Amino acid sequence: MYKQAKGWLASSPPRALTLGFVAIILVGAILLKLPISLKDGQSIRWIDALFTSVSATCVTGLVVVDTGTFFSVFGHWVILVLVQIGGVGFMTMGTLFALFLRRKVSLKERLILQESLNQNNLEGIIRLVRRVINYALTIELAGSLLFTLRFMLDMPPGRALYYGIFHGVSIFNNAGFDLFGDYRSMSNYISDPFVNILSIILIILGGLGFVVLADLVEYRRNRRLSLHSKVAICVTLLLFVVGAIVILLFEFTNEKTLGPLGTADKIFAALLHSMTPRSAGITTIDVSSLRQATQFLLVILMFIGVSPGSTGGGIKTTTFAVLIVAVLAVFRGREDVVLLRHTIERERVYKAITVTLFSFLIVVAGTMLLSVTENHTFMGVLFESTSAFATVGLSTGLTPELTDAGKLILILLMFMGRLGPFTLFYAVGPKHGRPLYRHAEGKIIIG
């Protein structure tokens, strides 16, 4: 029996990756259930501990209890460690320890790393892991230091350092957890350009993906970027700018959001809330007070998400780009799908369509189930489902009021969104060999 289980696990890196995430989530839930993780007088149910552990490990940020006022310092560090492991990947962290102990990384472990980092081949995978760790720690250290310096203006140095580290790591990993209490997120800093700009930069760096960061670092030497990096950067900037403009137009006169702010503050708030739906989850305004048109825009941005190999979720920017150029190719009557003067192979186009359709169906199923279990508006339910699946963490206020059934639905959505449709499919689905025959070609009417 043991050999069969070991063979089943070793035969599929996606299975090992999935079970690894499950193990970390369960350990996190047990730790968060301990009295040492809670502030005096607080107690937490198993379902809430599990929800918080899943949200942290899947770098989502949706919470059923207020992080800042409910958990102790130990509980905060448990959440932060789960965020770090979930953001850079538990196999990446494991490989770091293996390299530190000078232990050789096996082929099986390299295959799991390849799956975890969403790479197409094994070449240079250990070198990429070293870069991932170096980039993540460097950016987190810089972000934590800058946040600490800013928070020292509002609180004692020790607490400022504590808050700086927590929010630097949380925001870079696109997690969305905060310590300010009362579900306020970063609303106290809505008029602070330093906090807004720093948060936007950390979200972008965490969302571009480590492959893109490596390309940018080496650009001074190579003077070129890969097609993947060009597409990821272009789509990220395009969605960022367009999203900010649309949010500014929709919310400019909304007295519950941007209306009372000055022009500069409105621009900063629009920029942050154009970037944060991409997977970050931090806010400076009340999302539930946004107009429905703006909320729906955020749903679209959440569904698209960030770039592959990053700390965030969604169908990914490159998938979105491939879909757009594929549609344009059909409209123009062309067989080849061309993106930035490169022909995209059909296999990748099919994969983009599959990921998008599968993700869409998951969000639809989650929305329908939540509509049954929760007494809330359709937009609120759709928003929460998309936020969970895209591992964003934005909420219209529904999550803290969820029934136990609703919590289980969001737990599944967060888990599926973090692992990705293909990893889950290959983890639980049977292996199929290449067919030895082709069926006769058929014609059906489309459109």
pLDDT at 146 over 70: yes
pLDDT value of residue 176: 83
Residue 72 is predicted with a pLDDT of 93
Assigned domain for 231 exists: yes
Domain that holds residue 131: 14-427
Tell me, yes or no, whether 68 lies in a domain.
yes
Taking only the tens place, the pLDDT of each residue in 306-360 is 888 777 788 889 999 999 999 999 888 888 888 888 888 888 898 889 889 999 9
pTM, two decimals, is: 0.88
pLDDT on residue 356? 92
In a domain, 65, yes or no: yes
Lowest-pLDDT choice from 64-73, 100-109, 387-396, 434-443: 100-109
Band of residue 371 on the pLDDT scale cut at 50, 70, 90: very high
**Which H, E and C letters describe the chain, residue by residue?**
CHHHHHHHHHCCHHHHHHHHHHHHHHHHHHHHHCHHHECCCCCCCHHHHHHHHHHHHCCCCCCCCCHHHHECHHHHHHHHHHHHHHHHCHHHHHHHHHHHCCCCCCHHHHHHHHHHCCCCCCCCHHHHHHHHHHHHHHHHHHHHHHHHHHHCCCCCHHHHHHHHHHHHHHHHCCCCCCCCCCCCCCHHHCCCHHHHHHHHHHHHHHHHCHHHHHHHHCHHHHCCCCHHHHHHHHHHHHHHHHHHHHHHHHHCCCCCCCCCCCHHHHHHHHHHHHHHHHCCCCCCCCHHHCCHHHHHHHHHHHHHCCCCCCCCCCCCHHHHHHHHHHHHHHHCCCCCEEECCEEECHHHHHHHHHHHHHHHHHHHHHHHHHHHHCCCCHHHHHHHHHHHHCCCCCCCCCHHHCCHHHHHHHHHHHHHHHHCHHHHHHHHCCCCCCCCCCCCCCCCCCC
Please report whether residue 5 resides in a domain: no
Categorize the per-residue pLDDT at 101 as very low, low, confident or very high, splitting at 50, 70 and 90.
Answer: very low
Instruction: Please tell me the predicted confidence (pLDDT) of residue 281.
Output: 80
Mean pLDDT throughout 183-195?
Answer: 88
Task: Give the pLDDT score at 125.
Answer: 61
What pLDDT score was predicted for residue 109? Answer: 53
Average pLDDT over residues 126-139: 77
pLDDT average, residue stretch 248-265: 91
**Above 90 in pLDDT, residue 32?**
yes
Q: Is residue 1 pLDDT above 50, yes or no?
A: no
pLDDT given for residue 313 in this prediction: 81
Assign 234 a pLDDT band (cuts: 50, 70, 90): very high
Please, which pLDDT band fits residue 430 given cuts at 50, 70 and 90? Answer: low
Q: Is 93 within the bounds of a domain? A: yes
Residue 7 located in a structural domain: no
Residue 257 lies in a domain: yes
In a domain, 360, yes or no: yes
123 — pLDDT class (breaks 50, 70, 90): low
Query: How many structural domains is the chain composed of?
Result: 1
Average pLDDT of the segment spanning 235-247: 94
Mean predicted confidence (pLDDT) in 145-173: 93
- Average pLDDT of the chain to the nearest whole number: 84
